[in-house]
Amino acid sequence: MLDQSQAHAPCEGDAGDTLQGGDSPPAPRRGGFYLPVPAKFALVLALAAAWTAASVWLSLPWLRELSLLAGLPLALVAIGFIAYVPGFMNAFLIGSILSDRRPERRMVIHYPKVDVLVACYNEGQNIADTLASLAVQDYPGLVRVTVIDDGSTDDTLALARAETRRLANRTVEMRVIAMPRNGGKARALNHGLAQTSAGLVITVDGDSYLRADAIRKLVERFLSDPPDTVAVAGAVLVRNSRHNWLTRAQEWDYFHGIAAVKRVQSMYHGTLVAQGAFSLYSRTALEQVGGWPECVGEDIVVSWALLGTGARIGYCEEACLFTKVPDRLVQFSRQRQRWSRGLMEAFARHGRLLFKPRLSTLFIWWNLLFVPMDLVYTLVFIPGVVAALFGYYWIVGIMTLLVLPLAAIWNGIIFRVQRRMLNRQGMRVRRNIAGFLVYSLCYTAILQPVCVMGYAAEVLRLRKTWGTK
């Protein structure tokens, strides 16, 4: 889908001027009528609720028919999580994206030094490319890259040492820290945090490739956002999308699904995951919450800990990093199970966020609904599809289509928004029709049962490892 051009925009601002980090000229005024974010939230919420009410009215014949078969409570649960809840979510996302008028990134006059932590384990095939992309960043300030090898059993450590010696330059310092044994990603990141000192900390995965302007834009976004912002998630896109059908489908997931949801969440001041693959954090905020917790979903858990302090987490869709995604179903299953377990860990440690009075609380409840949605999809909807193939339309039939038309509208709107954003950066969206067909028709049928397996693994307290990203 994406043409990964290495061209980058000229640096904004003059690093030689004397204003301190965070000082910047005022953002340009936008023309037209401006609606405050809380008012947008209320309006979009009302429209989404109205759509859901209309869906309920349209689905009454379906509800009556299914109630005769399964009883009213089970029918409500099934239709609610197959149609009503996803319909509400899609309506809310559409309204939010259409009303998003975020402030532009401001020109920064002084760029503070940043520490980049690259925690890696058995990334011998990828670490050289990651370091090469860090060495050519156009960031005007000092970048200090610290590679933390977490007891790799391949040649990651030797390669990292050789590449850091070769690539270090005037604006990018590089070094390698070797952990004595494998202790997990959180422990590696915390060790790197303790060995560095810059006020801004960026995490990058060891199998990634950053566009040359990625760090600059991430820092500019952080310095342009409201003063209570303590972290900013970058945009993670797929690097190996041409490999097979699975990576082609994941390209749409990252570009079309994950990125869009993060953008909406940041609009309401609460991106829920500053992902470890590429995010910026305030060192003070990280130290306040005790760094990354030692768990399988360290990035979501630390993000929720930061939100629990009342702080804001933003998102920079223009700061792009390309990562290698799993190209085999077994790897993909492990990754998404890890993400599901991370979500449950976040609720176990920071479930009080469900009752915190702020706009982003809606998305905490949203994530809570993922668990029953995944269960109903796996245990009810997929069997309903099979039944429909044999002429039994109790669960999946014409009414299913009538109450779920927003998915197509959502796909079209977010595609247009994302394509416009990428075009502004000199990237283009390539044709990936096969990937879109898999993503739209089959991806959920693979993803949601895998998530259910992750929930079960967490409930059963099965062993946790790095697994895959």
pLDDT band at 12 (very low <50, low <70, confident <90, very high): very low
Which residue would you say has higher pLDDT here, 326 or 4?
Answer: 326
- Please give, one letter per residue, the 3-state secondary structure of 236-302: EEECCCCCCHHHHHHHHHHHHHHHHHHHHHHHCCCCCCCCCCEEEEEHHHHHHCCCCCCCCCHHHHH
- pLDDT at residue 16 tops 80: no
Q: What residue type is 235 in one-letter code?
A: A
The 10s digit of each residue's pLDDT in 352-395 is 999 999 999 999 999 999 999 999 999 998 998 888 888 888 88
Q: In what order do the strands lie in the sheet with 114-120?
A: 172-178, 143-149, 114-120, 200-204, 278-282, 229-238, 312-323, 208-210
pLDDT band at 215 (very low <50, low <70, confident <90, very high): very high
pLDDT band at 28 (very low <50, low <70, confident <90, very high): very low
**Pair of tokens at residue 468:** 């895959």
3-class DSSP state for residue 354? helix
Give the C-alpha distances (Å, rounded to integers) separating 165 from 138, 181, 353: 20, 23, 45
pLDDT value for 15: 27
**CB 450, CB 337: distance < 8 Å:** yes
3-class DSSP state for residue 104? coil
- pLDDT at residue 400 tops 70: no
The 10s digit of each residue's pLDDT in 102-114 is 778 887 889 999 9
Q: What residue type is 123 in one-letter code?
A: E
The 10s digit of each residue's pLDDT in 297-336 is 999 999 999 999 999 999 999 999 999 999 999 999 999 9
**Pair of tokens at residue 203:** 């995490």
Calculate what percentage of the chain has a pLDDT beyond 70.
Answer: 90
Give the C-alpha distances (Å, rounded to integers) separating 244 from 14, 154, 251: 44, 26, 11
pLDDT value for 106: 81
**Pair of tokens at residue 136:** 């050519």
Question: Residue 290 half-sphere exposure, CB side, CA atoms within 13 Å?
Answer: 7
pLDDT band at 417 (very low <50, low <70, confident <90, very high): confident
**Pair of tokens at residue 155:** 């040649």
Q: Could you tell me which of 199, 153, 154, 191 has the C-alpha nearest to residue 175?
A: 191
Q: Could you tell me which of 282, 154, 189 has the C-alpha nearest to residue 228?
A: 282
Concatenating the DSSP letter of every residue in 169-201 gives -SSEEEEEEE-SS---HHHHHHHHHHT---SEE
Q: What is the β-pairing status of strands 278-282 and 229-238?
A: antiparallel
- pLDDT at residue 26 tops 60: no
The 10s digit of each residue's pLDDT in 73-101 is 999 999 999 889 988 998 899 899 888 87
Concatenating the DSSP letter of every residue in 37-57 gives HHHHHHHHHHHHHHHHHHHHH
* pTM (predicted TM-score): 0.88
Residues 6+ apart with CB under 8 A from 140: 11, 13, 15, 111, 171, 216
- Mean pLDDT confidence for 60-78: 90
CA 404 to chain centre: 24
**CB 145, CB 195: distance < 8 Å:** no
Q: Does domain 114-327 have CATH number 3.10.20.340?
A: no
**CB 256, CB 411: distance < 8 Å:** yes
The 10s digit of each residue's pLDDT in 147-161 is 999 999 999 999 999
For the chain, give the mean pLDDT: 86
The alpha-carbon radius of gyration of the chain (Å, integer) is 23
**Pair of tokens at residue 219:** 């820092």
3-class DSSP state for residue 328? coil
Residues 6+ apart with CB under 8 A from 251: 1, 2, 237, 238, 241, 325, 432, 435
**CB 174, CB 95: distance < 8 Å:** no
Calculate what percentage of the chain has a pLDDT beyond 90.
Answer: 61
**Pair of tokens at residue 304:** 């929720």
Range from 116-130, 148-162, 249-263, 268-282 carrying the lowest mean pLDDT = 249-263
Q: How far apart are CA 296 and CA 307, in angstroms?
A: 19
Q: Could you tell me which of 51, 81, 63 has the C-alpha nearest to residue 448?
A: 81
Per-domain residue ranges of the chain: 114-327
pLDDT value for 5: 39
**CB 307, CB 269: distance < 8 Å:** no
pLDDT band at 342 (very low <50, low <70, confident <90, very high): very high
The 10s digit of each residue's pLDDT in 31-50 is 556 788 899 999 999 999 99
